[in-house]
């Protein structure tokens, strides 16, 4: 039996196991059956198969492009190595993004553009550069190790690809000139197709591998691979912040006792290193791997702050959300694209903020006016406050967490395309303009394979003092679908009587009503009564605890692998 095990072992690898799973679920071109004895009571039956390119491409929306791409990764033009499939599709997407950026930079020369569209076109260039950066990270990650490594890095790959899709959407949304918008849409057509294909293939392969995780664990002693040495997480790789270590667990608590020593201090009165927050941010070394701490003393700072992509691992804290605040008034009506209206923008990965306020004081009449825009991956906000009217908090991309915060606004005031959990927060609905309705959320999830959405967990939804007296006259809703596959979940939260019985509002007719995923789970309060909720195909009242667990901090944003090291308290699962 030992000799038989050895013979079989030589012919099977962890890469083949991935192909096995694909074949079992989606069909095979050919198969043989072998049985492996393992040193336990269990036996694992493995079908050694090869997956056809054509069958694998069935999960994609753009099948011809998929077959063309994957054929280059196939040695016989018929069968496909799962890892090479993922690498090939991401590389193809990278090329398409690069071409789109070249076209974007050449646009506008033949068309007279107003200032807003000039800015929006500039935003497109920046967004596409962000997308190229995400894809570079994805390529570097997917090329390492074998197919088992792809599975371990699945969440990160899907995170990067989802972000790339969002950049394409945001670019087009910002353009109002019909000719320019049409040209940009056409220019991005191929990059959108390839990005969606890459995400679909990555998701399907990793999903199937994940279903066999138990089998892989049982055979790990038979397989000699890099995965045993590398471990599950990527937190020690160069791309991720070094502050995610056990030594930093008490970071936030240390700020309360004054024991933490900031790298720089910001003070309006000149008693610190800098008088403005942006000056302090500019002093952060680029791509710094260690944590950089900025303490902002009490005061209202009238400036627009950007923590750029190269400013990593910044921890910023103030003296309280009402004492230390950043205030601005850029807005859409006065000619600034929504993307640029943010008073504070956090882009560099690993950003943590505590005890600060973010305001946009443009007012309801100025429509879109963002207080805080967050693009930073694995970012967290604790004891912070965001105040504006329309589009207050722009949870733009990547994995984000908000705890013990106050968020106020009117129309779509929590919106974006990220994977975000907002937990233990006070959500205040304000009085809008006449003839307006309030919508707490607007999810921008635009593709079915994106691991994104807005989760409101253990929060309170209440009216402010101006809305409260007229809350029965002014209609307020939990959200509306900004994009085709909008996903929003309210769970274990207390919802006030300001929310309409139907709960949710259409965006435009029947747009997205069949493809969205809106759900509620064990909420309380008068506004949480689901008996008269909308009857859309995409709306759900979750009754299965296992389904609700998919949207918790641990599952939805993999928070147990990064939030726990920041010192921020959090509920990893459900309260009850």
Pairing of strands 43-52, 79-80: antiparallel
Find the Cα–Cα–Cα–Cα dihedral 504, 507, 509, 512, rounded to 10°: -80
Rounded Cα distance between 545 and 325, Å, is 39
Contact partners, residue 215, CB within 8 Å, separation at least 6: 17, 44
Hey, which residues does 97 pair with through a beta bridge?
none
Q: Is the dihedral of CA 201, 164, 286, 562 positive or negative?
A: negative
Give the integer Cα–Cα distance in Å for 364 and 425: 23
Between CA 275 and CA 542, with CA 390 as vertex, the angle to 5 degrees is 115
- Using CA atoms, how far apart are residues 187 and 185, in angstroms rounded to an integer? 5
Task: Please give the Cα distance from 403 to 570 (Å, whole number).
Answer: 7
Pair type for strands 314-317 and 426-429? unpaired
- For 304, list phi and psi in degrees, rounded to 5: -110, 120
Active site residue 464: no
Residue 11 CA to residue 36 CA, distance in Å, equals 11
Retrieve residue 184's tokens. Answer: 């940009």
Beta carbons within 10 angstroms of residue 287's beta carbon: 13
Burial class for 109, CB neighbours closer than 10 Å (0-12, 13-18, 19+): exposed
> What does the alpha-carbon distance between residue 278 and residue 303 come to, in Å, rounded to a whole number?
8
d(Cα 158, Cα 286) in Å, to the nearest integer?
A: 26
CB 461 within 8 A of CB 440: yes
Cα(262)–Cα(348) distance, integer angstroms: 19
Judge whether 498 and 462 are in contact, CB under 8 Å: yes
Q: What SS3 state is found at 201?
A: helix
State residue 446 phi and psi, 5-degree precision: -110, -5
Active-site residue, from 391, 412, 464, 497: 412
Chain position carrying tokens 């791309």 = 239
What does the alpha-carbon distance between residue 286 and residue 120 come to, in Å, rounded to a whole number? 26
HEC states along 327-393? EECCCCCCCCCHHHCCCEEECCCCCEEECCEEEECCCHHHCECCCEEECCCCEEEECCEEECCECCE
Burial of 436 (0-12, 13-18, 19+ CB in 10 A): middle
Write out the catalytic residue numbers: 412
């Amino acid at each position: 039996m030992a000799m038989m095990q050895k013979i079989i072992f030589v012919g099977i690898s962890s890469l083949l196991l991935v192909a096995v799973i694909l074949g079992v679920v989606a069909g095979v071109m050919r198969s043989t059956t072998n049985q492996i004895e393992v040193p336990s009571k269990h036996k694992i039956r493995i079908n050694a198969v090869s997956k056809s390119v054509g069958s694998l491409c069935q999960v994609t929306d753009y099948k011809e492009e998929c077959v063309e791409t994957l054929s280059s990764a196939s040695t016989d033009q018929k069968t496909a190595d799962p890892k090479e499939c993922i690498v090939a599709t991401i590389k193809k997407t990278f090329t398409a993004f690069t071409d789109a950026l070249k076209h974007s930079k050449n646009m506008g020369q033949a068309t007279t553009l107003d200032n807003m569209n000039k800015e929006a076109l500039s935003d497109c260039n920046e967004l596409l550069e962000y997308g190229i950066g995400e894809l570079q990270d994805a390529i570097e990650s997917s090329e390492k190790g074998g197919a088992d490594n792809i599975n371990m890095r699945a969440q990160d790959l899907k995170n990067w690809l989802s972000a790339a899709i969002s950049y394409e959407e945001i670019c087009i949304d910002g353009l109002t000139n019909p000719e320019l918008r049409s040209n940009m849409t056409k220019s991005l057509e191929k990059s959108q197709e390839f990005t969606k294909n890459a995400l679909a293939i990555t998701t399907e392969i990793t999903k199937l591998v994940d279903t066999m995780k138990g089998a892989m664990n049982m055979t790990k002693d038979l397989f000699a691979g890099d995965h045993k040495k590398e471990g599950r997480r990527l937190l020690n790789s160069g791309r991720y912040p070094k502050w995610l270590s056990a030594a930093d667990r008490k970071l936030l608590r240390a700020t309360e006792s004054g024991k933490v020593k900031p790298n720089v201090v910001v003070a309006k009165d000149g008693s610190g290193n800098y008088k403005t927050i942006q000056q302090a941010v500019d002093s952060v070394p680029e791509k710094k791997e260690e944590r950089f701490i900025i303490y902002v003393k009490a005061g209202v700072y009238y400036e627009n702050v950007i923590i750029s992509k190269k400013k990593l691992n910044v921890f910023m804290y103030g003296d309280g959300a009402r004492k230390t605040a950043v205030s601005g008034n850029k807005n859409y009506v006065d000619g600034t694209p929504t993307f640029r209206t943010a008073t504070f923008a956090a882009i560099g990965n690993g950003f943590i903020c505590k005890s600060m306020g973010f305001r946009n004081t443009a007012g309801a009449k100025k429509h879109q006016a963002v207080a805080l825009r967050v693009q930073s991956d694995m970012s967290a906000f604790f004891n912070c406050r965001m105040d504006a009217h329309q589009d207050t908090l722009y949870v733009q991309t990547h994995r984000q967490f908000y705890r013990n915060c106050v968020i106020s606004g009117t129309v779509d005031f929590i919106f974006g395309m990220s994977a975000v959990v907002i937990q233990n927060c006070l959500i205040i609905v304000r009085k809008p303009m006449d003839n307006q309705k309030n919508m707490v959320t607007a999810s921008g999830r635009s593709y079915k394979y994106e691991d994104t959405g807005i989760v409101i967990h253990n929060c309170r939804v209440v009216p402010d003092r101006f809305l409260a007296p007229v809350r029965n006259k002014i209609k307020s809703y939990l959200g509306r679908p900004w994009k085709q596959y909008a996903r929003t979940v309210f769970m274990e939260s207390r919802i006030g009587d300001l929310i309409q019985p139907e709960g949710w509002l259409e965006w435009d007719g029947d747009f997205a009503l069949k493809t969205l995923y809106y759900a509620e789970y064990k909420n309380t309060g008068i506004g949480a009564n689901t008996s008269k909720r909308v009857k859309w195909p995409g709306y759900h009242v979750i009754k299965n605890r296992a389904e609700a667990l998919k949207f918790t901090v641990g599952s939805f944003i993999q928070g147990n692998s990064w939030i726990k090291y920041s010192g921020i308290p959090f509920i990893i699962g459900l309260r009850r």
